[in-house]
Chain A
Amino acid sequence: MNALPAPHRPGPLPTRMQLEDGRLRHLLTIEGLGRPLIEQILDNAESFAGMNDQGVKKLPLLRGKTVANLFFEASTRTRTTFELAAKRLSADVLSLNMNASATTKGETLLDTLRNLEAMQCDMFVVRHADSGAAHFIARHVAPHISVLNAGDGRHAHPTQALLDVFTIRRHKGELSKLRVAIVGDVLHSRVARSQIHALNTLATGEVRVIGPRTLLPAAVEQLGVQVYHNMEQGLKDVDVIIMLRLQKERMQGAFIPSEHEYFQRYGLDARRLALAHPEAIVMHPGPANRGVEIASEVADGPHSVILRQVTYGLSVRMAVMSMVMGVNPQVRA
């Protein structure tokens, strides 16, 4: 039997904590964000998407603000996109590798936070291997500081989920008419959890999860999804396929028999892609394990929007950063 991971909710009401007077103050999780607020984030992201036409890809919205990237867990791509998003908004950016910083010399996390506050930082972007780390930091920061969760343990990765729904909306339009399949290791995936919450909040027509029993949470259908253990059945007629990354440690553990067998049963290749809607798009949060969860012919093929996701990720992160700093329109949730 699958054990659910350790409790995901690290403290009381992280969902409410991120809203202040109905407006976004931190972004810790998708849970609790209303549909109007999520749509506002997507609309604001759309307004940044045209920036690529400008010679100077920079806006003055966060001029004078300082953003600190606190990455306790390595992630070059996510850190880079947050850093670039902040720079495109004209913020000053510190990117700190917290594993090599003072916390390893005995300084407590709270000491580190106090020092960064004393350096007049305005926003912390937090990546941490422990569920609830961003929530913990948000609870302890000075009132003028906003915290963005860039992935915490198995709990949440809200900006990834937002850029995913942004990608779907841009390429496929109205979500209520769509079938979306999330394939792979849902059990350990903070990305999948956030995606499911975002897709359900936006009233997506049908959300499916596809994977072996060992990689799906025991009561996953309670999240409002259809469950498939057979790839061929699950992919039938879907409009969007979101492949999840299979972590190395799962490949070596008891969760799957072997990489090869996993690909045989759950890998996305051209033959399986043909079962989906002819205009289906293929997504992946990256970096993809080619030949394990996805074949190169699909990852690089005409249905793939994987690199577009990276581009959209910049716009979505710019939208969230400007909203929590109060310099972009917001509806009240």
Chain B
Amino acid sequence: MNSSTRLPDVEPLLDHMADALRAPLAEHEGQAHLIGIHTGGVWVAGGLHRRLDLDQPMGTLDITYYRDDLAHGGLHPHIRPSRLPWSVDGQLVILVDDVLHTGRTVRAALNEIFDFGRPARVLLATLIDRGGHELPIAADVVGARYDDLAPTQRIKLNGPEPLTLTLSEREVPTP
């Protein structure tokens, strides 16, 4: 049976991330395009968008079709069309996800963003970096790090309102 442990509150982590994003935003005269990755990343991006008071509406990505393990993943949840309601060409793009683990989601998101256009710069902002990266991908802005988790442990963002983090033990299927 899964046991869940409550992790720190999300709101202070979002405050910290927004503060960290203000310097690069200032370099780009406050102009940035925020993109959340479905589903948790969209919730996190929403929180950042409110704090940063950006002019442009935020975009959303469903990267399911770009995943490298799509054919092996079995039944997937309902896939929503990605929506980037502006051109990414030449723009500062802040890509937002909830948990950075293997890095494969971010790789898929980058591939998808480049199918829309060629941004000037992409920053990665993630609420949690739990380590275990399998690709050379690192976040520019992180809410909290958990580097010592066992492979069976899973951090989950629950939402959309309120946003909470839980740590649970994943069941290992019996052979």
| Interface of A toward B, CB cutoff 8 Å | 43-44, 46-51, 53-56, 58-61, 326-331
Contact = CB atoms under 8 A, between A and B. Distances in A.
A327 B74 CA distance: 9
A43 B78 CA distance: 8
21 contacts: A43-B78, A44-B79, A47-B62, A50-B81, A53-B83, A53-B116, A54-B115, A55-B115, A55-B117, A56-B114, A59-B65, A59-B66, A60-B66, A61-B65, A61-B70, A327-B70, A327-B71, A329-B77, A329-B78, A329-B79, A331-B75
Nearest to B89: A55
Nearest to A325: B71
A208 to B, nearest CB: 33
B117 A60 contact: no
Main secondary structure of the interface of B (DSSP, over half): loop
Contacts of B65: 47, 59-61
A53 B112 CA distance: 12
Interface residues of B, number: 20
Given A49-B81, A50-B83, A327-B71, A58 B76 contact: no
A161 B60 CA distance: 32
* Residue among B71, B81, B114 with max Cβ neighbours from chain A (10 Å): B81
Contacts of B115: 54-56, 58
B66 A54 contact: no
Contacts of B82: 50
A301 B76 CA distance: 40
A88 B29 CA distance: 37
A100 B65 CA distance: 37
Contacts of A328: 76
B118 to A, nearest CB: 9
Contacts of B84: 53
B81 A47 contact: yes
Query: What are the 7 tightest A-B residue pairs by CB atom distance, in nearest-first order?
Result: A50-B81, A56-B115, A47-B79, A329-B76, A327-B71, A59-B65, A54-B115
Contacts of B83: 50, 53
Interface of B: 62, 65-66, 70-71, 75-84, 111, 114-117
A59 B65 CA distance: 7
A46 B79 CA distance: 9
Contacts of A49: 81
A49 B83 CA distance: 11
B76 A55 contact: no
Contacts of B77: 329
Contacts of B111: 60
Contacts of B78: 43, 47, 329
Nearest to A327: B71
Contacts of B71: 326-327
A44 B83 CA distance: 16
Given A47-B62, A47-B78, A47-B79, 10 more contacts: A44-B79, A47-B65, A48-B81, A49-B81, A53-B84, A55-B116, A326-B71, A329-B75, A329-B79, A330-B75
Contacts of A331: 75
Contacts of A329: 75-79
* Residue among B65, B78, B117 with max Cβ neighbours from chain A (10 Å): B65
Nearest to A56: B115
A315 to B, nearest CB: 10
B110 to A, nearest CB: 13
A58 B115 CA distance: 8
Nearest to A52: B81
Nearest to A59: B65
Nearest to B76: A329
Contacts of A59: 65-66
Given A55-B117, A59-B66, A47 B80 contact: yes
A269 B52 CA distance: 56
A226 B65 CA distance: 42
B112 to A, nearest CB: 8
